[in-house]
Amino acid sequence: MNEHYVFAWRRRKVWFTKATVIGHNYDKDQNKMILYLPGGGIREIAHWSDCECKLGVDWVGAQAAQIKKEAGQTPI
């Protein structure tokens, strides 16, 4: 089971937009952030260099669970 976390972003001081995701990745060549959604879909945020993001403690927990999974340990 994948861990979910909230990925919040904004562009030019506008309100933060939020999405619940299971992962994200920056595509440097196309300057876009790719968000992986729990249902299997994706969302792309174009012109990522104009944005900022905010990740909370839920992201830290998801990262810790992923590291333990890759190491073959049972997540707590």
- pLDDT tens digit sequence for 38-74: 999 999 999 999 999 999 999 988 888 888 888 886 6
Q: Which strands, in side-by-side order, build the sheet including 32-36?
A: 23-27, 32-36, 42-45
**Residue of 31, 28, 38, 30 whose CA lies nearest to 5:** 38
What is the reported pLDDT for 2?
Answer: 56
Q: Which residue ranges make up each domain of the chain?
A: 5-71
Average of per-residue pLDDT across 21-46:
96
Q: How confident is the model at residue 75 (pLDDT cuts 50, 70, 90)?
A: low
